[in-house]
Structure 1
Amino acid sequence: MNVGKNLKALRKFKEMSQEEIAQALSMNRSTYSGYENGVALPNIENLISFSEFFKISIDDLIKKDFSVFSVNDWKNYSASWKDDAKGIHLRVLAGLVDQNNEEMIEMIPEKARAGYVAGFSDPEFMKVLPTLQIPFLSKDRKHRAFPISGDSMPPVNNGSHVIGEFIQDWTQLKSGTACIVVTKEDGIVFKFVYNHLEENQSLLLVSSNPVFEPYSVSIKDVIEIWKFSAYFSKDLPEVQMDSLQLSLSYRNLHKDIQRILDKIKS
């Protein structure tokens, strides 16, 4: 791990003292100095703080050696993530077309879920997938259907499929957008995405179920992003009784008001 010498190199690049860095991060100078000198290793909370402050990924903070970087190296490093995020380096997207040369909507079955990360760019993998036709989706955009497991994103429940629209330029993604995110580490996940690319080259993934903690993924771990377009399920969403009772109360109140108005008119 290169955390200590990387912290020192990053601090010098910013032309800041240990005291200034420590104050900016609400940390004791001795604690920060210990991290720089390799006396102690920062915990995950502090790694996140360093990542956000220096605007680099945690992965790079741990694995790269910034101590050997020249001024040009820093410039190239600072700009490289944007090329990836904007899709300037071609994203290989294998897909199927029908007899009219129109894009088809591939459906990833649950049994093919594990193989998607390895096979997403392989035409042979795509060739055996079932396909869908959804008339109301734009033919000018590329769509794909992904399986959903677990209960982290109600009302989209376990066993559903989410249809996503392929996103080429991740920098334009608005925070709070529901997306299928395909990562090297976790495979296919469905979350609300908060765009932190400018701050620290990461995305914050948030579930609609508050039981599940939000977590960040480095841009370098992201393979594809598909913006939510629709979903289908064999199950009806559960109706909350509180909402039903509120609706009934509203109807009864409306009837009472109507009776009063009728009496006034008569």
Structure 2
Amino acid sequence: MSLISDNIKYLRKRIGLTQEQFSERIGIKRSLLGAYEESRADPRISNLIKMAEIFGTSVDILINKDVSKLSDEELIVSKFKRGKEVLAITVNEDQKENIELVPQKAAAGYLNGYADPEYIRELPKFNLPMLSGSGTYRAFEITGDSMLPILPGTIIIGQYVDDIRDIKNGKTYILVTQNDGIVYKRVFNYLEDTGKLFLVSDNRQYAPYQIAGEEVLEVWSSKAYISVQFPDANESNDVSTEQLASIVLDLQKEIIKLKEEKKK
């Protein structure tokens, strides 16, 4: 048997699931799981990601390590880590990473295909020499008016964030989420306190809301934007100090409330 086949079988038994139970959690047929465990088929990356999440480890460990020889500390990875081993990319003829564009019409498909190299390969792609060569970038066409004066149809270029605990309070990010899809928001990081992120719109007509860190599939820190519409001269692209202070105060009240509820 191959290393990955042995690892899947070993970890499935370790968490006490039958083939039937485990295949249901992944969303595949039991016969296909059997083929994986007997080295008769290789798991797709999307299935490897689901398995790694259930096992509490990374795809990199699942593929490259003999898990039976690892300690719990070596096997278990942080629930906030988003390892680059599952980040599908493309490169140009000079072997430099492209910036793949996720247009509005492809947003729904991206939730299923974000880790599939074949899907990523089909996305439009381009390069911007002014961006740092050390990062991995992706572009997303945004919808709605919740982040005015950034207009609907604007393309936000984000740099990949490997660990969502690195999110800086008050900065803008593209988040790829399980339940809300792809969203562009100003983010406040309370992962260490409550396991939550607070998402705030620059258009104050939209109420802030929170999501659990586990719901976040990818995070991209906004670095640039492309738009065919110029912002109005009277509009500022930044949230004012007063607005940020108000937002932070509201969030602090919410955090205190959540902590009190936890104690009950």
Give the TM-score category using the shorter length: 0.5 to 0.7
2:126 corresponds, among 129, 132, 148, to 132
Structure 1 residue 203: Cα displacement: 0.4
Note if 1:84 corresponds to 2:40: no
Q: Give the equivalent residue in structure 2 for 1:150.
A: 144
Structure 1 CA distance, aligned partners of 2:84 and 2:127? Answer: 27
Structure 2 CA distance, aligned partners of 1:193 and 1:110? Answer: 21
Q: Give the equivalent residue in structure 2 for 1:176.
A: 170
Q: Deviations over 1:7-36 (max 9, x none)?
A: xxxxxxxxxxxxxxxxxxxxxxxxxxxxxx
Aligned partner of residue 85 in structure 1, secondary structure: coil
Q: Deviations over 1:222-264 (max 9, x none)?
A: 10000010001111112329xxxxxxxxxxxxxxxxxxxxxxx
Q: Give the equivalent residue in structure 2 for 1:117.
A: 111
Structure 1 residue 90: Cα displacement: 5.9
Structure 2 CA distance, aligned partners of 1:193 and 1:209? Answer: 14
C-alpha contact (below 8 Å) 2:88/2:117 kept by paired residues: yes
Q: Cα 1:177–1:91, aligned 2, differ >3 Å: closer, same or farther?
A: farther
Give the TM-score taking structure 2 as reference length. 0.58
Q: Give the equivalent residue in structure 1 for 2:218.
A: 224
Structure 1: tracts of 5 or more residues without a match: 1-75, 242-266
Letter in 2 for 1:85: F
1:212 corresponds, among 197, 206, 210, to 206
Q: Give the equivalent residue in structure 1 for 2:232.
A: 238
Structure 1 residue 92: Cα displacement: 1.1
Note if 1:101 corresponds to 2:76: no
Aligned partner of residue 84 in structure 1, secondary structure: coil
Letter in 1 for 2:79: D
Considering only CA atoms, is the larger Rg found in Structure 1 or Structure 2? Answer: 1
C-alpha contact (below 8 Å) 2:148/2:203 kept by paired residues: yes
Structure 2 CA distance, aligned partners of 1:239 and 1:180? Answer: 25
Structure 2: tracts of 5 or more residues without a match: 1-71, 236-264
Aligned residue pairs total: 162
C-alpha contact (below 8 Å) 2:200/2:208 kept by paired residues: yes
Q: Deviations over 1:108-129 (max 9, x none)?
A: 1121111110000011111111
Letter in 2 for 1:207: S
Structure 2 CA distance, aligned partners of 1:171 and 1:108? Answer: 24
Structure 1 residue 145: Cα displacement: 0.2
Structure 2 CA distance, aligned partners of 1:186 and 1:113? Answer: 11
Aligned partner of residue 110 in structure 2, secondary structure: helix
Structure 2 CA distance, aligned partners of 1:170 and 1:107? Answer: 22
